[in-house]
């Protein structure tokens, strides 16, 4: 579905991506990991056709995203940015309806099925109760849910997410990432920049580590989520262990500091965090992720 080859890209006077290659197939969820400023957002912008690469090329179903018209691109790619832009007075439902732009007819008038798609997207993103609120009245987490609803309303096959979980509480993280997992299983391709590497390991089918604009590793969590790889990626000593419920890898700093850690005896946790066997964090389940 999506292929980028030997991408070099950046901004005036500053190169960010250096020889990045990546492929994404339908039904894959690819998490981009790395330091702030490593190039994750820049790569998403290149994949979306919002930033032209200085070298290399991106192909989406055989065509370059930047060469598509805005409407054609919106039919194929939906984007949830890290920082949403909106008018504070805009009604939430109207914001989500903008996701139907690519599907409007010649007269540019919303039909009944457009309103139904917007309402369904709001419900899926857990934002139905926000429909008549103004964007300027929402919290950061609520804005993220609305922007995800707008992206879902586009009904695109490729979804690009830039730090969706950044402003969300744990309950909403589980709810929305479970939703993304459902869409992935239905054939959607997802590429997401994720700050929390343990969260990424629970949900992504592939992890791509980016450091200083280069791909450091690329593969399934069970293979690449190692102390060596993560230590090299974050310049930090980490301890990798299996999730107690589903066996997928998790990570914590190897040597936390502070007086409450000093001389503490290591004991089994009598109340381990629950998890899901289908790759979902903090949810119950029995079937392994597939």
How far apart are alpha carbons 223 and 90 in whole angstroms? 45
Relative to beta strand 14-24, strand 2-11 is antiparallel
Residue 81, pLDDT > 50, answer: yes
Would you place residue 67 in the very low, low, confident or very high pLDDT band (cuts 50, 70, 90)? confident
Alpha-carbon gap, residue 248 to 225, rounded angstroms: 9
User: Could you tell me the pLDDT band of residue 288, with boundaries at 50, 70 and 90?
Assistant: very low
Q: 167 falls in which pLDDT band (50, 70, 90)?
A: confident
**pLDDT tens figures, 236-283:** 998 999 998 888 999 998 866 655 554 545 545 544 444 433 444 434
Nearest-CA neighbor of 190 among 208, 172, 211, 174?
Answer: 208
pLDDT score of 29: 97
pLDDT for 103 beyond 70: yes
Average pLDDT over residues 201-219: 96
Q: In whole angstroms, give the CA distance from residue 28 to residue 185.
A: 8
User: What does the pLDDT read at residue 85?
Assistant: 85
Give the HSE-up count for residue 93: Cα atoms under 13 Å, Cβ half-sphere.
Answer: 13
d(CA 29, CA 205): 5
pLDDT score, position 286: 37
Q: What is the mean pLDDT of the chain?
A: 86
Residue range 173-190: mean pLDDT, rounded: 94
| Domains of the chain, start order | 2-261 (3.40.50.300)
Q: Which pLDDT belongs to residue 101?
A: 87
Enter the tokens of residue 279.
């790759």
Q: How far is the C-alpha of 82 from the C-alpha of 59, rounded, in Å? A: 23
Provide the Cα torsion 41, 21, 158, 234; round to 10°. -40
* Structure confidence at residue 71 (pLDDT): 84
Q: Is the pLDDT of residue 5 over 80?
A: yes
Inform me whether the pLDDT recorded for 32 exceeds 60.
yes
What CA–CA distance (Å, rounded) separates 29 from 262? 39
Q: How far apart are the first and last CA of the chain?
A: 20
Per-residue pLDDT averaged across 167-177, rounded?
Answer: 88
Provide DSSP, 102-143.
Answer: GG--TT----HHHHHHHHHHHHHTT-GGGTTSBGGG--HHHH
Highest mean pLDDT pick, 70-79, 105-114, 253-262: 70-79
Q: What is the mean pLDDT of residues 184-208?
A: 95
Per-residue exposure over 161-195, b if at least 16 CB sit within 10 Å of its own CB, e if not: bbbbbbebeeebbbbbbbebbebbeeebbbbbbbe
Place of tokens 């200085």: 54
Q: What is the pLDDT of residues 86-102, one digit of tens each?
A: 899 999 999 999 999 88
Kindly report the pTM of this predicted structure: 0.85
Cα separation, 130 vs 124, in Å, equals 12
Distance CA 194, CA 96 (A): 23
Whole-number Å distance between alpha carbons of 191 and 79: 10
């Amino acid at each position: 579905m999506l292929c980028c080859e030997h991408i070099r890209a950046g901004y005036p006077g500053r190169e960010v991506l250096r020889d990045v290659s990546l492929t994404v197939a339908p039904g894959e969820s690819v998490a981009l990991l790395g330091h702030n400023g490593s190039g994750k957002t820049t790569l998403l912008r290149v994949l979306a056709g919002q930033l032209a690469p200085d070298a290399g090329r991106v192909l989406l179903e055989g065509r370059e995203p930047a060469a598509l018209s805005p409407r054609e691109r919106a039919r194929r790619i939906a984007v949830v940015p890290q920082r949403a832009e909106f008018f504070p007075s805009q009604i939430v439902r109207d914001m989500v309806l903008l996701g139907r732009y690519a599907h409007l007819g010649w007269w540019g008038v919303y039909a009944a099925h457009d309103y139904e798609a917007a309402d369904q997207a709001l419900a899926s993103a857990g934002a139905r109760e926000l429909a008549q609120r103004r964007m300027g009245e929402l919290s950061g987490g609520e804005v993220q849910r609305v922007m995800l609803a707008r992206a879902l309303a586009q009904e695109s096959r490729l979804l690009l997410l830039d730090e969706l979980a950044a402003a969300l509480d744990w309950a909403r993280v589980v709810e929305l990432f479970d939703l993304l997992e459902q869409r992935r299983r239905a054939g959607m391709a997802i590429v997401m920049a994720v700050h929390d590497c343990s969260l990424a390991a629970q949900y992504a089918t592939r992890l791509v580590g980016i450091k200083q604009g280069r791909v450091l590793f690329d593969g399934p969590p069970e293979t690449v989520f190692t102390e060596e790889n993560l230590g090299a990626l974050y310049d930090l000593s980490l301890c990798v262990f299996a999730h107690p419920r589903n066996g997928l890898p998790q990570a914590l700093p190897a040597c936390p500091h502070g007086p409450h850690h000093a001389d503490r005896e290591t004991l089994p946790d009598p109340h381990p965090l629950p998890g899901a066997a289908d790759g979902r964090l903090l949810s119950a389940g029995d079937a392994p992720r597939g």
